[in-house]
Amino acid sequence: MTDSVVRVDQLWKSFGEVSAVEDLSFSVERGQVCGLLGPNGAGKTTSLRVLMGLERPSRGTAALFGTEVRPGSRELLRVGAMVEQAAFVPHLSGMLNLRLWWEAHGGHIRDADLDTALGIADLGTAIDRKVRTYSQGMKQRLGFARLLLARPELLVLDEPTNGLDPGEIRDIRELIGRLTAEGATVLLSSHHLSEVEQTCSHLVVMNHGRLITSGTVSSLVGTAGSVYVEVDDRERARAVLDALAIVGKIASQGDGLVVDLRDGRRSDVAAALFGAGLRVETIAPTQQLEDAFLELLEMQPGGAGPAGSLPRAEQETP
C-alpha cells in the first residue's frame, strides 16, 4: 500500500511538562533528500530520535519502510543514522577506524561497501592519516564513510553541518549530492534555510513541535523573494537588474538596493552583476530565518502551505 521510506503520523512527544513534538505528520519517499527545517528547539532532534527508535512516541507513530519503529526494529538495520557527533580513535588512521568499527559490529571488512564509502567521503590519501590530524569537516566525512559501509537505504542526519566552516559545509553538500546520485534517500535536519535550500529536494518546516509547511524546495523557497545587494556602482546595478526578466521592483535602501525577484534565484542576480563587471560587496536575503518562521506561523496557524515564498536566511558569498 505505502512504500514511503519514512512516515511520521500524528506524532506527539513530551518530556514531562515539556512538549517537544505535537501532532507532526510527514513522509519521505524513496530518492528524496528531505530537510527537516526549524529553529533551535523546534523538535527536530526529538523527531529523528523517535524515528530511530531512541525515544518512544507519547502518541502517534513513526514508521520506516512501512513498518512502525520500535527499539531494535529490523528496519533500523537499513538506516545509517548520525544523530550524535561521530567519535573516533584519534591515534589511529581513518581507515583503521573504519575497519575496527565495522569489525566491532560483527562484520568483516571485505563485506563492507568500502569503495563506495571512501568514494563518497572523498578523503583521498588522508584516509591513512591519524584522525587526530583531521579537521572537523574531515571527521564528519569519515563519519559518513562509516555510515555508508553497511549500504544503508536511508540516511538520517541531525544537523550534519553543525560546527563546520563554510568550506567544510560546501564539502558536505557535495557529499550529499554524490549520495543522492547513488539513489540514497536522505532525511536531514537543519536550522539554516539557505543550506537546506541548496541540499534538499523537499522540506518539512517545523516550529514549536508543529508542522508549519512541507513540499518541494522549489515550491517553498526556490523561485521568489527579495535580496539586498551592495555594489560599487548602485545606479549601474539598477540599470542592469532592471533589464532582467526575473527582477520586479527595485528600491534603494541604505547603501544598497532591495531587489524583488519574480522568479529565479539570488545566484542569477549575482551572475548578472558580475557579468556587467560590477563589484558585488554584499548579496543577502532581506529577512532572517526566524522572521520567516514567525511570519509563516502567523500566516498559517493551521499549518497549511504558504501562499507565497519563504524568505531566505543566510548571507550568500557569491
Ligand X SMILES: Nc1ncnc2c1ncn2[C@@H]1O[C@H](COP(=O)(O)OP(=O)(O)O)[C@@H](O)[C@H]1O
Whether residue 207 contacts residue 39, with contact meaning beta carbons closer than 8 Å, is answered with yes
Q: What angle do CA 86, 198, 193 make, to 5 degrees?
A: 80
**15 binding partner (options ligand X, Mg ion, none; Cβ < 5 to 8 Å by kind):** ligand X
**20 binding partner (options Mg ion, ligand X, none; Cβ < 5 to 8 Å by kind):** ligand X
**38 binding partner (options Mg ion, ligand X, none; Cβ < 5 to 8 Å by kind):** ligand X
> Is residue 45 a contact point for Mg ion (CB under 5 A)?
yes
**35 binding partner (options ligand X, Mg ion, none; Cβ < 5 to 8 Å by kind):** none
Q: Which of residues 21 and 296 has its CB atom nearest to Mg ion in the complex?
A: 21
Task: Give Cα 194 to chain centroid, integer Å.
Answer: 9
Least CB distance from residue 43 to ligand X, whole Å?
4
Task: Give the other-Cβ count within 10 Å of 173's Cβ.
Answer: 14
> Is residue 17 a contact point for ligand X (CB under 6 A)?
no
Task: Give the other-Cβ count within 10 Å of 88's Cβ.
Answer: 21
Backbone angles phi, psi at 116, to 5 degrees: -60, -45
Handedness of CA 185, 188, 192, 193 (dihedral sign): positive
Q: Cα separation of 33 and 183, whole Å? A: 10
**42 binding partner (options ligand X, Mg ion, none; Cβ < 5 to 8 Å by kind):** ligand X
Least CB distance from residue 263 to ligand X, whole Å?
31
**43 binding partner (options Mg ion, ligand X, none; Cβ < 5 to 8 Å by kind):** ligand X
Task: Give the other-Cβ count within 10 Å of 114's Cβ.
Answer: 17
Q: Which of residues 59 and 74 has its CB atom nearest to ligand X in the complex?
A: 59
Q: Which of residues 75 and 158 has its CB atom nearest to ligand X in the complex?
A: 158
Q: Cα separation of 27 and 8, whole Å? A: 6
> Is residue 274 a contact point for ligand X (CB under 6 A)?
no
Binding positions for ligand X, 24-53, rule CB under 6 A:
38, 40-46
Whether residue 175 contacts residue 28, with contact meaning beta carbons closer than 8 Å, is answered with no
Q: Cα separation of 311 and 285, whole Å? A: 7
The residue number with the shortest CB distance to Mg ion is: 45
**272 binding partner (options Mg ion, ligand X, none; Cβ < 5 to 8 Å by kind):** none
Closest to 209 measured CA to CA, from 6, 7, 53, 26: 26
Binding positions for ligand X, 42-101, rule CB under 6 A:
42-46
Which region, judged by CB under 5 A, interacts with Mg ion, from 7-15, 36-44, 90-98, 122-130? 36-44
Q: What is the 3-state secondary structure (H, E, C) of 51-105?
A: HCCCCCCCEEEEEECCEECCCCCHHHHHEEEECCCCCCCCCCEHHHHHHHHHHHC
Q: Cα separation of 20 and 207, whole Å? A: 10
Q: Which of residues 24 and 269 has its CB atom nearest to ligand X in the complex?
A: 24
> Which SS3 state, helix, strand or coil, does residue 299 take?
helix
Which region, judged by CB under 5 A, interacts with Mg ion, from 22-30, 40-48, 145-153, 284-292? 40-48
Q: Which of residues 32 and 207 has its CB atom nearest to ligand X in the complex?
A: 207
**57 binding partner (options Mg ion, ligand X, none; Cβ < 5 to 8 Å by kind):** none
Summarize as ranges the residues that interact with ligand X (CB under 6 A): 15, 18, 20, 38, 40-46
Summarize as ranges the residues that interact with Mg ion (CB under 5 A): 44-45
